[in-house]
Chain A
Amino acid sequence: MKNDKEILIKVRNLKKYFNIDKNVYLKAVDDVSFDIYKGETLGLVGESGCGKSTIGRTILNIYHATSGTVEYKGSNIYKLKGKEAKDFTKKAQLIFQDPYASLNPRMLVSNIIGEGIDIHKLSSGQERMNRIHELLELVGLNKEHANRFPHEFSGGQRQRIGIARALALDPEFIVCDEPISALDVSIQAQVVNLLKDLQEKMGLTYLFIAHDLSMVRYISDRVAVMYLGSMMELANSNELYENPLHPYTKALLSAIPIPDPQVQRKRERIVLEGDVPSPINPPKGCKFADRCPMAKEKCKNERPKLEEVKENHFVACHYWKEVENEI
């Protein structure tokens, strides 16, 4: 499975520390490595503050990485210069969480979508307008919407405008940073279906960041679980949900209520005590050790590495075998 897929993005030992005071660093992303294959959707889940959005932005070079590399089709994006660097910004795009804050209220929809086209001087005049109309129709809006302002649209429609903007430059890779969290349930489904259709049509690759694990399972081919800046587990989505090998993944999955009362009443929850520790001074050993029901002495002292323990199933836990046997 693994070898016949082309790697589009290769992330190695990526670190992003934010300097918040003299010699005090917030370790938002702490030594993370993974690949994104061409044409797939990689889901990235975790609780707030675990660094999932920071990863998305660091991969796009919106945040400058503290160390580590991100390779796009074999070349390190942090070393790109001039035309190559500009080309990368065309090929990699971002869809934001908040459709109210991410569209400039003073700009016409046509200029919001066309901004990238202007910057890269792809077309102008009637040709540019035709392209904008085409994009609007692609995302399920219509031509007339081009001459309106963002406030005239509902949340779901605004998110469609955001998607049209991301598609304007024919990207190959899109980071979707919680694109549906701010939307109502019935509208969420519309936007997710749209993203799926576009992926099929245009062969897009997504990094889908979200905290709604049910939706992530639905949309992703593979899912990565983050905790406090580290990647804890990465596997095919069905495998991860049916056979989680990390105690954190297990607890996270069990905490999500299922919208089926008879099933939900029978479920047993693993309730985690306490809160996520501060990313400023994360624990020396495994970051989850303080809250982990299975933690032993070794976990407190030695940080486990993310290793491929089964085919396509990576986990960062010293005792994953015991987790597996427990099920």
Chain B
Amino acid sequence: MKKILEVRNLEVSFDTYAGEVQAVRDVSFNLYEGETLAIVGESGSGKSVTAKSLMRLNPEPPARYKGGEILFYGENILNKKEKEMQEIRGSKIGMIFQDPMTSLNPTMTVGKQIMEALIKHQKVKGSKARETALEMLRMVQIPNPEKRFDEYPHQFSGGMRQRVMIAIALVCNPQILIADEPTTALDVTIQAQILDLMKDLQDKINTSIILITHDLGVVAHSAQRIIVMYGGKIVESGSTDQIFYKSRHPYTWGLLNSVPRLDIKKEDGRLDSIEGTPPDLFAPPQGCPFADRCEYAMEICRKKMPPKFEIEENQHSACWLNHEFAPKVDNPTQIAKSLQKKEVQSNEK
């Protein structure tokens, strides 16, 4: 697969009155053509800041890119001027935001908002742009596109607005689509429609999608690869199956165990919660950011940040438990156990 984006040792900080918030610390990952990569993490884990950095959308200041590089087709985005960034935004990289109510312009018709990107980036004339924009509205399955074209965002429902956002983001056929919690504000039946739509469009125009979410169900449904972030760092990365079934990081375990499942019978047990709260990024711990909440934490965890251990091909986990001298701990999640059971059963047969 062709690599289209490479993030190397990215460091992003915010300078505030209270001091420096180290939001993203030493983050590296690749994005390949046509794939869906999910970034999972809680609020404050740095997932949105990472994604916004790819488009330089974090206002500078207070944001400051302390180090690292973001290579988009070999060119470092962090060295580009604002003018050059404007050529990339909306044309080569598109973005969908969480809240479709506030991210559309309420004073512009929906059609105009879709045409805006076309006229700016592809220098097409009005009538041609209108045609393409109408085609786009049809593609995102808005009924009656000719009539809806001249309506304003407030005349659309939440799900319809999110469709319009997708149309705007994809109208210039971008190579990358960043979807920042695209369905969090929507109801589940609408969420299902939007996720299906994104998948269809991805097949049609072969865009790579970076999906930022905290909903593990959405991730299981849509992603091929997953990055798990915590306290500004990537703690684990791998394919969807590797992360769900063969994770080697206690934070991922905790995350997987703390969500109840719809398809599993209610028992009177408790949910396995992760006690405590995420670290303070004003003064991030010098060791592993999860050490304070981790039930397996060892002495070294508080002193030294664990390196990326390779678990399998393409799976990396930043946890000292994977060191050869560490005590052996089995993956304790329900989901891993259920898979082992299935495997044992199929072997017996």
Contact = CB atoms under 8 A, between A and B. Distances in A.
Interface of A: 47-48, 154, 156-157, 184-190, 192-193, 196, 211, 213-215, 217-218, 237-238, 241-242, 251-253, 255-264, 269, 271-272, 275
A156 B277 CA distance: 9
Given A156-B277, A186-B274, A218-B266, A261 B241 contact: yes
Given A211-B187, A257-B221, A264-B217, 20 more contacts: A48-B158, A48-B187, A154-B277, A184-B214, A185-B258, A186-B258, A186-B274, A187-B277, A189-B274, A211-B188, A218-B266, A238-B265, A256-B217, A256-B262, A259-B261, A260-B263, A261-B240, A262-B245, A271-B189, A272-B189
Contacts of A189: 258-259, 271-274
A241 B264 CA distance: 9
B275 A190 contact: yes
A253 B190 CA distance: 13
B219 interface: yes
A259 B191 contact: no
B244 A47 contact: no
Contacts of A238: 265-266
B34 interface: no
Given A189-B272, A275-B157, A217 B244 contact: no
Nearest to B271: A189
Contacts of B218: 257
Nearest to A259: B216
Contacts of A242: 265
B193 interface: yes
B275 to A, nearest CB: 7
B88 interface: no
Contacts of A260: 220, 244, 261, 263, 335
B192 interface: yes
A85 to B, nearest CB: 36
Nearest to A273: B193
B315 to A, nearest CB: 14
Nearest to B159: A275
A264 B255 contact: no
A189 B260 CA distance: 9
A188 B160 CA distance: 29
A185 B196 contact: no
A272 B263 CA distance: 20
Contacts of A241: 262-263
Q: Identify which of B219, B220, B262 gathers the most chain A CB atoms within 10 Å of its CB.
A: B262
Contacts of A264: 217, 220-221
Contact of B273 (A193, A256, A269): A193
B35 to A, nearest CB: 15
Q: Identify which of A213, A237, A264 gathers the most chain B CB atoms within 10 Å of its CB.
A: A264
A309 B258 CA distance: 35
B262 A271 contact: no
18 contacts: A184-B43, A185-B214, A186-B258, A189-B258, A189-B259, A196-B270, A237-B266, A238-B266, A241-B262, A255-B192, A257-B192, A260-B244, A260-B261, A261-B240, A261-B244, A263-B220, A264-B221, A275-B159
Interface string B219-242: 111000000000000000000110
B256 interface: yes
B42 interface: yes
A184 B258 CA distance: 10
Nearest to B263: A258
A269 B192 contact: yes
Contacts of A218: 260, 266, 271
Given A185-B259, A186-B258, A213 B188 contact: yes
Interface string B96-117: 0000000000000000000000
B254 interface: yes
8 tightest A-B contacts by CB?
A257-B217, A189-B273, A259-B216, A218-B260, A47-B187, A189-B258, A186-B274, A257-B221
A190 B217 contact: no
Contacts of A184: 42-43, 214
Nearest to A254: B192
Given A251-B189, A255-B192, A185 B42 contact: yes
Nearest to A264: B220
A255 B189 contact: yes
Contacts of B217: 214, 256-259, 264
A302 to B, nearest CB: 24
Contacts of A263: 220, 263
Given A272-B189, A275-B160, A217 B42 contact: no
A47 B188 contact: yes
B270 A259 contact: no
Contact of A261 (B43, B160, B220, B255): B220
A267 B254 CA distance: 25
